[in-house]
Structure 1
Amino acid sequence: MKDFITSEIKNENAVLVGLITPDQGEEKVNEYLDELAFLAETAGLYPGKRFVQRLEMPNSVTFVGTGKLKEIAEYVLDEDNRVGVVIFDDELSAKQIRNIEKELKLRILDRTSLILDIFAMRAQTSHAKAQVELAQYQYLLPRLTRLWTHLERQRGGGGVIMRGPGETQLETDRRIILDRISRLKNELKEIDKQKSVQRKNRGKLVRAALVGYTNVGKSTLMNLLSKSEVFAENKLFATLDTTVRKITIENLPLLLTDTVGFIRKLPTNLIESFKSTLDEVREADILIHVVDISHPAFEEQIEVVEKTLYEIDKTEKPTILVFNKIDAFSHIEKEEDDLTPRTRQNRSLEELKQSWMGKLKENAIFISAKNKTNIDELKTLIYTKAREIHIQRFPYNDFLYQTYDEETEM
């Protein structure tokens, strides 16, 4: 199934398109396009020329204005530019895709379909593959008017296309996809039951979950804390499958989970499809929110993660904000004679520590997973919060630990 649903988009030059609107200023659009370029690179594309237009709202027919679309067409249809795909930084409707393709005569992707492609490439286990496939079909269903020819390969017994009397191709394709969606949902329900049993079998150990924006260093930190070899790479969505490791800090065992990274404009279908994976977040006792403090928009990334976490689980949990990648600040520390005005792009680490983060006190820590800076301090912080929960859960057990410690000291 994956052979027709996963796009072959590697090794092509890509053009990026974004809109400046009253809700999305020029600076923010540039940030979004930078992230879109990173997504394109992760998918194996070569992002190049960018087109940006200022509009009150996206054009319902062509997303950008007709004049801007013609400008884009002139560029992409020039053979010297060798453009293979045009990527729009917002989700496109079936009508918009159809009209844009008619004008540009190239493959069109929106942010959602690009993320889905990356997820399809990254998925390793049958669980992750089923989750991604479900999200892809839910994305495809309202866009069948342009995609029905891709489904001609879905045939019944004897190589005959499954079509009833008088049934149109579109109706056939819709039925095929709805059947697939139903089958995948049932398959994921069975996997959910198995994983639920696995979680119950773990007993009442304290659970901590690593959460955060994509590419902030969660997997690298997981490797340091658990002394394991979870796959980590400087690309978006390097980790899709949830990894759980049992670790021991001082005398306290606990479970540590590495979860899929979040991103701005994360497709709703993906959040729903990865429900069982995100159950690890729901059932966690402690959230370890990892932040790339070197990123210019890290504060917005924090908001994106917190908003997504709230959608997943509205229960407040003890949370540690782990500001990672402090090693990236060595080149921007402010010198005494530097009169450059401070902006959020060039604040020093010390200035950041004295901002709103200073009020977090024991709920925040600054580390470098790459250089292993302050990792022992982080372990102590996790231990302190985990022990509080452990005492509530096993008060008599903890009394024995305490007695043993006191006798040892004597």
Structure 2
Amino acid sequence: MGFWENNKWQWELSWVRTFRIRDSIEWEQLHPLLLQAPIQHNEKDSLVWTLSSNGEFTVKSFYDELYKDVTPCLGSLSRKIWSGLVPLRIEVFTWLAVQERINTKKKLTSLGIIPPSESGCILCDSGPEDISHLFLFCPFAMEIWSWWWNLWNISWVWPKSLAQALSQWIFPGKGIFFKQIWFSSFIVIIWSVWRERNERIFNSKSSSTRDIKTLVLVRLWWWVKSWKLPFLYSVEEVIRNPKCLQWGSSKAPKPKISHSHLKNIAEVGSCKLILRWVVGFTPFSPSNGADGGGIYSGHLRNNWGDTLCSFSCPFPPMNPENVAVLAIHRAIQISLSYGTAGVQEISINSDSILAIRWCLSRSDGPSNLSFILNFIRSTRQKLPLFQINLQSDSNAQIRKISEKKRFVFSDEVIWEKYPK
């Protein structure tokens, strides 16, 4: 560490490894500070933490000293980043990224770890990989940002740094729930870009921007579900129509089937209990300003016409038969989640002949619905009491004459008004 010479301490430090460029710079900054330390030859040394009044180290005093050097931009961002909206390790990553402390290729080049010839961005190969380029201006990242902006019909211009970009990342609209989603979307996008960058460098695997967009929605859905706030849409619905992220701020309770209600009904007399779903959909009309799509819904009732459960979900513009399959799938999901399908006869009634044909066949149906159709088919094979039926022609004719929303149970038609 050093030696005494003429009653003056001389520093002589030995180092295990050779200095890098940055190490030499830091030593040149540290050495003058060491010379200012008064070391007494005949007195015993003691450790004193000057940042606290009693001379003892505390984490709070250390944090307060570090916080003095934080720029106002980062000071305001720290409260947002460390808010528990995203997993802790991703909060750490985001905090390091906005301070430009993650190991991009440009930083590794400045440290002498990789040569300058290898500092190019692996996602686009159009410039050196630094924080701003990788997350904001890289054509690969910009395609993902543009897709996200277009979902909400807004335009955006990036500042020069990631910290400034995050500080300006505020959705121009109302709704506290969606503002939390909006802030989280920034983090999930830069995290997805970083993961893709690492996959290409370390595992020689690459994904398309289309795959990354899907991953962004899936990760965002997982994070939102961890908030323990009302959000009624499944990950499949978010992928099909990301706009339901904005609709999901509703505090309406999830549809539930009361176990005690079902048990009481099943024990009344010796009547055979048959639970019947009636599923359908209502498209959005151009007059209400919607850009297509609509709402598919279903209602579950027993033999006596008591409503046990209802659901409604949005869908983007798509073929009506596809929507009918989604409605059947959601009815099955709800029934299975409450364990009633294996012990009670449940039938699902739909007025789409083609959708029912797809569900009952072994291989028919559009390829984009193959996963859902296979789930429906396997459920029917495992649960023989689960039936999918077509509503009768007579009921269909009555429906056309009445022009009202109908619920059909066996030979009985129960009318219920429904807004067009």
* TM-score with structure 1 setting the length: 0.28
Which structure's relative contact order is higher, taking Cα pairs within 8 Å and 6+ residues apart? 1
TM-score by length of 2: 0.28
Q: Which has the larger radius of gyration?
A: 2
